[in-house]
Amino acid sequence: MSQAPNRPQPASLPEVLIGVGVLALAAFLAWGATGISSEAGYAGVGPNFLPWMVSAALAICGVWLLWEARSGGYRSREAPSGAERGDWPAFAWVSVGVLANAALITTLGFVVSCALCFVLAVRGLRIAEGKPGGGLHQTLKDAAVGLLISAPVYWLFTKILAVNLPGLTATGWL
């Protein structure tokens, strides 16, 4: 027996769990925001303003996701793209890049460790697309791009925003 075309499909458990998970994350963030001072600072807002705003936005998204799941599922979603299985070598390259960045940032400094992370992650993403990872020329080009991205970020944070990031030299420029 087929269902009537106007009748919504029953809620998919994974879709409901995603909505519940987002609501739980919103509640956890709101709980954390209660421990932050609410004294008004610059521009009349306190340090707990942003956590409360993010918590409220997550709660709205969680309710919306639950409504979508309960009213027939995620109707506009496209079929999943990509391979049937994960690409483990590509995942390993990206993971090594992130872990190397975390391990070496205080030794090599922000700029160099982030450039290294970029080089390794881009190699992994290329492999995931089925392209060659890249030889010496491509690796040097990726390193240059990584430096061109990470150096301005470092200067923005350290020189303009006065946020201390680990540097390679004591000059504050690398």
For residue 33, the model assigns a pLDDT of 86
Contact criterion met (CB below 8 Å) for 114 and 153: yes
The total number of structural domains in the chain stands at 2
* Domain that includes residue 109, residue range: 88-160
Q: Is residue 129 part of a domain?
A: yes
Is the pLDDT assigned to residue 119 strictly greater than 90?
yes
Q: Is residue 122 part of a domain?
A: yes
Q: Which two tokens stand for residue 110?
A: 């922000």
User: What digits encode the pLDDT tens for the residues 36-56?
Assistant: 777 766 666 677 788 899 999
Q: Is residue 174 part of a domain?
A: no
Q: Is residue 38 part of a domain?
A: yes
Which carries the bigger pLDDT value, residue 11 or residue 21?
Answer: 21
Asked whether residue 35 falls in the same domain as residue 61, the answer is yes
Is the pLDDT assigned to residue 62 strictly greater than 90?
yes
The model's pTM is 0.57
Is the pLDDT assigned to residue 1 strictly greater than 50?
no
